[in-house]
Amino acid sequence: MPLWKVYHPAGAYSAEDKKGLAKRVTEVYASIPIPKFYVVFVFEEMAKDSCFVGGEPHNKFVRFKVDQIARTLPGPVIREWWTRTLDDVIAPYVKDRGYDWEISIDETPFDLWSLQGELAPPFESVAEKRWVKENKASPYTLGEKLPVNLILAPGLADR
Q: What is the DSSP string of 5-62?
A: EEEEETTSS-HHHHHHHHHHHHHHHHTTT--GGG-EEEEEEE-TT--EETTEE-SSEE
- SS3 at position 70: coil
Q: What is the chain's Cα-based Rg?
A: 19
For residue 49, the model assigns a pLDDT of: 96
- pLDDT, one tens digit per residue, over 26-38 is 999 999 888 999 9
- pLDDT, one tens digit per residue, over 47-93 is 999 999 999 999 999 999 999 988 888 899 999 999 999 999 999 99
150 DSSP assignment: -
- SS3 at position 107: strand
For residue 37, the model assigns a pLDDT of: 95
Report the predicted TM-score, pTM, of the whole model to 2 decimal places.
0.86
For residue 108, the model assigns a pLDDT of: 87
